[in-house]
Structure 1
């Protein structure tokens, strides 16, 4: 019985208490030690810690995309990274004997923790409908099965190729090559659910879909503004940057509906003297709590304050920069003047005096970085909000110079590299032109399907083959029941994975599980031991080389699996698939010809710490239609619910990485033995007659009026603004309707779900 099941059965009571300790520190060290003991990985886990994120022959952490240290730090690691790697390096195995003992119907009743906790997949498996079990299949037969399914399609757009953020750059390039040679741009990815808004906003504002700063800029900034980021759990290595910045005198402002542990103080584990002294370093100088979705109004207020100050202070805005490098400033100024302080306070949920504090910090700083994560993007107005960030930066010329600029926090180790290397359902014509010239085929030009539209197309029968390259699509996607029905409506689903998860059990009429090497494992091919490359959140590209013997001799690398499927589906392809797999340098040589900024790829990526992809916006060259940085001037959205409903945001617990749950604890929020919960404001609970740990029913109302529900979740009081609530994904993904996605970014509105919460209806 898992901790989750024990909590629900009453054997382990859930607990909630305020967390008062520093982020990381001894709490993290204790948690890591307990996890290593539980997973029986004290020796292998310790060895991995010494090799992870090292520039000389190490492997890249498969967790978050925070940049590696550039000063030779030997323990550039974090609690969640160690857990992620240990989870991958487990000694437990899932092979034919396991599947012979359990039907898919039986496994559907298991918890998601228990599924992944069985260990590493060891051989390819095929679903047998007659026995309701997965049976062994050879690699050749598995590839032939994929090939037959893809060749038999009436239209290449009847296939969709999804990827999570951990696929290497080399695997990414081959994967998009497979899809486009087949004839489709149906390349949905996890960015469609996470940072699509960031990419579209930055592209429109400054001509690049990425942030412009690097880790050195973080060390040079006078002020850091961190919006919608739970750094201690989602980008824990950021804590080092925050602690160092505070000690330098940098002003640090956290803006989040929930004041997270990382927004208070930290003890960085590799700072041994501070650990020994139990000495915490503050990580903020100001914390503001807007209502969910109120960040855009708060940003508008900061810009308004700056413009008002400019009437008497000529240095409040950078007039020279504005005149030389920007377009649309007058319209932006007008919309700020036309937006009343009353409206800004009402929509943000933050008092004018507190917004002015943040504006004063920004105005006093010479160099400012603004960072953000999914707290800003998973909203209807996510693109407008990120553009409002750029507006604020432009007002003081905080772009294209040291210590300043936009810095989105990417949550998965190579999700930015996936997009850079071709995973894009809306590919740029220039990229397709180069692909055609170098690779010798005519790629499709029409836009493909993103995540939401792939799910809709599976349900309607327009997508018949779904390939999942990593991740756990069934749980990561919104509207769980609808996603399940779409996957089950496919003729074939293919999941390339390291561990058993829900997506293997929610499958098409035919289904394959193809087990792959993990990031920690050695990748031997005919050309010798191979390395792959990844791109971090700040555009640094570097190599990653596994250190451990593979969990099974039957495992194949992701490039090898992609090439095997491609050769079976495209028998007449002129692409040298086999040669690419023999030596990944050959893939990189082709990538160097196709991808902007990858010139001389093989040599540059072997430099210590790799290389940074050139970004014109960093040099104040803006590849926009006007040739200048573009101000936006969108109206403020109304983010309040007028009918007494709450706005719910789905979040992750601390002991979780994306859909992988390590335990039912959330240390930094003071939660133990519980995941089926909803965090609520005290007053909202009292108004509804709800007490701590009372069971509640949660009903969401979609844009189309349809409703979805979760029953029997437990209410937990928390410091969150009135009218707001939060709960864990993937459990709460069921509440987000497939049709509730942003018209600006097409992202599911996972941080803006309209719900009613009532005391649970007693069982009859």
Structure 2
């Protein structure tokens, strides 16, 4: 074991970058999203990170066509006109966080035991700076000590060779890995003999992929930025735009200016659902002139979105009784199946039940339906507020049902548009990170790469953790991210990781996953996306795929943080050469020139034909989407309506439904500060947002300390203590608090039977005053 580390009790560590004694503050936010607030926040952050020189230079290269690097934050597409300031507050923070001058090397680890580090906060771990050299855990001293790259690769190779079964290894990736490294990573796993390829999609948009695949024959959305610019109506569901996809604000502002209708559906009315000032619009910045970003805001109860969508569909069908133009009858007849069954289900649903399950008044549902019927072209966009539920797949399919009613597919300005989170999470799945690969993909991989890939499905994230706990996964390789904090049921996950024989973390910065580790552990530091990648044939570029299927190159511009860093393809190849001594794969040749990787990818991956030429075109290229062309790769050959029953999601008496969310000053598990500007919070993360009436019912006032206890499906309970209650505009019976801190409340067994996603947006909890 790795020592007597606490399971989930970090203290504040040694931070000098924030006032540990600062008092929490709450004041409802009434200003526009972005604008001068974002500019001020960025300036303060870059000054704190000492990036006053390199930071501005990097900003001018971020998301910029021609020698620029892709923002390592969200997956929102780059501006199609080559806008030089196609940036956002959180993207700038993400880049400055990566470009910090702080360093974590052998001297740091010599001064701190893992037991000590395990008590530091998430902020303080990452705030130490960039990792500079490979390290291995020494149980005798409870410290990480230096190890050469060759010794590290040999350690991993031996550990994999000692396994009784390739399925005793699992290979995880977060969404920051570029396409070329992604392809090599899945090739390594499959050549080794396993499809255990869990990824962050298993916790985020797995439901979206499965639903879209079932309904349309594609796991992706069908729209692009041209469509966003042409839509008459935009429905934004379960998305905190200003924090999670800030560059979407530009599309919302432009949509409002041209007269498009914008409907936001979210239990919390977020800042981006009111008004915004786009920082690169210099006139509006100079005149402080904000633009509305919504026509209508609807606040369903947590998990009530499916009932609300069913209500909109019901209203559309009622309208069609007197107005034949309310439905696109020709589209339905030519391109869909299952319409009559779906119509019958909608007609059978009572308005009383729809209103009870959604917690939205029928009159307001009809307003949304009116907007939808009046629009010739509509886009529906959604994020994790829809997917992290037991019924996430059914809800995404209900989105598709609604689009099909009016033929909002296969034409400009219309279609489904999931908002992917991490910058290349969609590219990871496209390029082979999938624990349930298709036979067609495996056949082509075998033919092109000369390997015999395994055919049985592998383990996803949740089942990998369960297999660790059972002793069935012994080696865990983690390519980016902070797995220990991103996963559900933190205490269970920590214990499972510590049962592994070896954990390998490929990272840029120190995080919780380095101090919660297996009996043996490696930290392998890699280049960041902002840094130059020098290989034998010259400086290399990698490619990424955004959330709208555009693939383009990313080229680092900064000197690496340390001469000892390796690129992710080089690290993967090093592990592969040690673990697979008789491999037919030209690992070293791939590392020397990434064009060689792309040439192989072009033969294996649909849509990547002529990859090396097309990716160098202005703005790259878009992967073909058959469903956009009304070609549906479904069993019926048509778009398929679904007929799922409405789930009963009303909380039991005395309980609340809690959703985990991110703060504004956070990106995934990376915490930039204890503030959440757009929700009016300062100096506090251990909080719970509650409806004021729910607080009064429990005798609570603002900042009162409470204990939050979740009740799992198996009846077990998990608790956090002394969180502070904040009155907030959220429907009664609902509450919200921050991940990753509240991930501890989501039991490992509480995952969707439809998607296997942890139900982090639908936790049954009780909230009581702390003793």
Aligned runs of 1:29-108 on 2, under 5 Å? 29-108=39-118
Task: Give the TM-score normalised by the residue count of structure 1.
Answer: 0.99
Say whether the 8 Å CA contact 1:7–1:674 is kept in structure 2.
no
Work out whether 1:485 is the aligned partner of 2:495.
Answer: yes
1:260 corresponding residue in structure 2? 270
Q: Tell me if 1:20 matches 2:22.
A: no
Residue number in structure 2 paired with 1:742:
752
Given candidates 272, 294, 305, the residue that maps to 2:304 is: 294
Give the secondary-structure state (helix, strand or coil) at the position aligned to 1:625: coil
**Structure 1 counterpart of 2:150:** 140
* Contact preservation (8 Å) 1:6, 1:12: no
The equivalent position to 1:423 in structure 2, one of 408, 426, 433, is 433
Determine which of 433, 438, 454 is the counterpart of 1:444: 454
Deviation at 1:2, TM superposition (A): 5.8
Matched with 1:652 is 662
Cα distance in structure 2, aligned partners of 1:642 and 1:472: 34
Q: 1:690 aligns with which of 700, 723, 730?
A: 700
Aligned to 1:701: 711
Q: Secondary structure at the match of 2:628?
A: helix
Q: How far apart, in 1, do the equivalents of 2:438 and 2:425 lie? A: 18
Could you say if the C-alpha distance between residues 9 and 35 of structure 1 is closer, same or farther in structure 2, counting changes exceeding 3 Å? closer
Structure-2 separation of matches of 1:691 and 1:571: 64
Shift of 1:499: 0.2
Residues in 1 aligned to 2:112 and 2:537: alpha-carbon distance in whole angstroms: 39
* Match 1:536 to one of 546, 566, 569: 546
Q: 2:231 aligns with which of 221, 236, 243?
A: 221
Report the Cα distance in structure 2 between the residues aligned to 1:660 and 1:11, rounded to whole angstroms.
22
- Match of residue 411 from structure 1: 421
Q: 1:5 to 1:683 in 2, by over 3 A?
A: farther
Q: In the comparison of the two structures, how many residue pairs are matched? A: 761
Distance 1:2 1:30, change over 3 A: farther
8 Å CA contact 1:425–1:450 kept in 2: the answer is yes
Compared with structure 1, are the counterparts of its residues 215 and 375 closer, same or farther at alpha carbon in structure 2 (3 Å cutoff)? same
1:495 to 482, 500, 505: 505
2:284 matches 1:277: no
CA shift for structure 1 position 642 = 2.2
CA distance in 2, matches of 1:429, 1:341: 44
Deviation string 1:493-544 (CA, Å, 9 cap, x unpaired) is 0000000000000000000000000000000000110000000000000000
Q: Partner of 1:607 in structure 2?
A: 617
Q: Tell me: CA distance 1:516–1:10, structure 2 relative to 1, closer, same or farther (3 Å).
A: closer
Secondary structure in 1 matching 2:326: coil
SS of equivalent to 1:394: helix
- The alpha-carbon distance between structure 1 residues 8 and 637, as it changes in their structure 2 partners (threshold 3 A), is farther
Please, which runs of 5 or more residues in structure 1 have no aligned partner?
A: none
Q: Which residue of 2 aligns with 1:331?
A: 341
CA deviation after TM superposition for structure 1 residue 5, in Å: 8.6
Give the 3-state SS of the residue equivalent to 2:571 in structure 1.
helix
Q: In structure 2, what is the equivalent of residue 585 of structure 1?
A: 595
2:682 to 669, 672, 679: 672
Contact map agreement 2:223 2:414 (CA 8 A) in 1: yes
Deviation at 1:644, TM superposition (A): 1.9
Q: Alignment partner for residue 120 of structure 2, among 77, 101, 110?
A: 110
Tell me, yes or no, if the aligned pair for 2:312 and 2:368 is still in contact at 8 Å. yes
Equivalent in the alignment of 2:522: 512
Q: How far off its partner does 1:442 sit?
A: 1.0
Q: Quick check: 1:163–1:468 contact (8 Å CA) kept in 2?
A: yes
CA offset digits 1:441-479 (Å, max 9, x no partner): 110000000000000000000000000000000000000
* Among 371, 382, 397, the residue aligned to 1:372: 382
Alpha carbons 2:331, 2:407 under 8 Å: kept: yes
Question: In the alignment, which residue of structure 2 is the partner of 1:393?
Answer: 403
Contact kept, 8 Å, 2:14 with 2:124, in 1: the verdict is: no
Q: CA deviation at 1:7?
A: 13
CA distance in 2, matches of 1:698, 1:451: 25
Give 1:12 deviation, angstroms: 1.2
CA–CA distance in structure 2, aligned partners of residues 4 and 423 of structure 1: 38
The list of structure 1 runs, each at least 4 consecutive aligned residues, that deviate by more than 4 angstroms after superposition, is 1-10
CA shift, 1:4, in A, is: 11
Contact 2:13–2:121 (CA under 8 A) maintained in structure 1:
no
Contact 1:4–1:673 (8 Å) recurs in 2: no
- CA–CA separation in structure 1 for the residues paired with 2:287 and 2:629: 43
Distance 1:420 1:226 in 2: 25
Match of 2:235, SS?
strand
Partner of 1:642: 652
Offset from partner CA, 1:543-592 (integer Å, 9 cap, x none): 00000000000000000000000010000001000000000000000000
Task: Sort the Cα spacing of 1:262 and 1:3 in 2 relative to 1 into closer, same or farther, 3 A.
Answer: farther
- Secondary structure class of the residue paired with 2:170: strand
Cα distance per residue 1:95-153 (max 9 Å; x no partner): 00000000000001111101100000000000000000000000000000000000110
Aligned equivalents of 2:272, 2:17: Cα separation in 1: 27
* 1:424 alignment partner, SS class: coil
Instruction: Give per-residue Cα distances to partners, 1:644-690, cap 9 Å, x unaligned.
Output: 20000000000000000000000000000000000000000000011
Task: Kindly indicate whether residue 616 of structure 2 is the aligned counterpart of residue 616 of structure 1.
Answer: no
- The answer on whether the counterparts of 2:136 and 2:146 sit within 8 Å (CA) in structure 1 is yes
Question: Hey, what does 1:178 align to over in structure 2?
Answer: 188
- What is the CA–CA distance in structure 1 between the aligned matches of 2:371 and 2:347, rounded to whole Å? 21
| 2:195 matches 1:197 | no
- Shift of the 402–4 alpha-carbon distance from structure 1 to 2, 3 Å rule, reads farther
Distance (Å, rounded) in 2 between the aligned partners of 1:130 and 1:7? 33
TM-superposition CA deviations, 1:424-447 (whole Å, max 9, x none) = 000011100100110011100000
**1:155 corresponds to which residue?**
165
State whether residues 3 and 12 of structure 1, in contact with CA within 8 Å, keep that contact through their aligned partners in structure 2: no
1:307 aligns with 2:317: yes
Which residue of the partner structure matches residue 174 of structure 2? Answer: 164
Give a deviation string over 1:600-630, Cα, whole Å, max 9, x none.
Answer: 0000000010000001000000000000000
Instruction: State the match for 1:240 in structure 2.
Output: 250
Question: Offset of 1:62 from its aligned partner?
Answer: 0.2
Distance (whole Å) between structure 1 residues aligned to residue 734 and residue 389 of structure 2: 14
- Distance in 1 (alpha carbons) for counterparts of 2:212 and 2:754: 13
* Among candidates 409, 414, 434, match of residue 444 of structure 2: 434
Q: Decide which of 550, 553, 558 is 1:548's aligned counterpart.
A: 558
**How far 1:22 sits from its partner (Å)?**
0.1
CA drift of 1:631 comes to: 0.1
Q: Does 1:230 align with 2:252?
A: no
Match of 1:362 among 342, 363, 372: 372
SS in 1 for 2:324: coil
The answer to whether 1:453 aligns with 2:474 is: no
CA contact (8 A) 1:517 1:556 kept: yes
- SS of match in other structure, 2:678: helix
Q: Using the alignment, how far apart are the partners of 1:13 and 1:4 within structure 2?
A: 18
C-alpha distance in structure 1 between counterparts of 2:61 and 2:17, whole Å: 37
Query: d(CA) in 1 for partners of 2:18 and 2:99?
Result: 30
Encode CA deviations 1:320-354: one digit per residue, 9 max, x unaligned: 00000000001100110111000000000000000
SS of residue matched to 1:184: coil
